[in-house]
Amino acid sequence: MKSKSLKIATLAHAVYKKCECCNRVKDIYFKMSVLDAAKANYLVGDFDLCKSCGQNFGDILNIKVSTENVLNDFNFSKT
Ligand SMILES: [Zn+2]
């Protein structure tokens, strides 16, 4: 399943704060954008995700996520 309404971006720099999935304070590597379900034109909100949650969401949504080059280059992975 691929969803156009959920996108996961890798942050350029990891941020130490609370993951909005597992509610633990960890290094946040990903931001998942939630777009409207009908046309995926509008940003509804977003979630900050730690490494393991981001990768888990990537697996669930069949989106390739990567933490490589997080501290070097902005890296937005999509399939
Ligand atoms: Zn998490």
- Within 10 angstroms of residue 53's Cβ, the number of other Cβ atoms is 22
Whole-number Å distance, alpha carbon 58 to ligand 1 midpoint, is 13
Return the ∠ at Cα 62 (arms to 73 and 64), rounded to 5°. 15
Q: Which residues surround ligand 1, an ion (CB under 5 A)?
A: 19, 21-22, 50, 53
CA dist., res. 41 & res. 23, Å (int): 28
28 against 70, higher pLDDT: 28
Whole-number Å distance, alpha carbon 19 to ligand 1 midpoint, is 5
pLDDT digits (tens, 9 = 90+) for 13-48: 999 999 999 999 999 999 999 999 999 999 999 999
Whole-number Å distance, alpha carbon 65 to ligand 1 midpoint, is 14
Sheet bearing 43-50, strands edge to edge = 6-18, 25-35, 43-50
Identify the band that residue 72 occupies on the pLDDT scale cut at 50, 70 and 90. Answer: very low
pLDDT digits (tens, 9 = 90+) for 51-63: 999 999 999 988 8
CA dist., res. 36 & res. 6, Å (int): 9
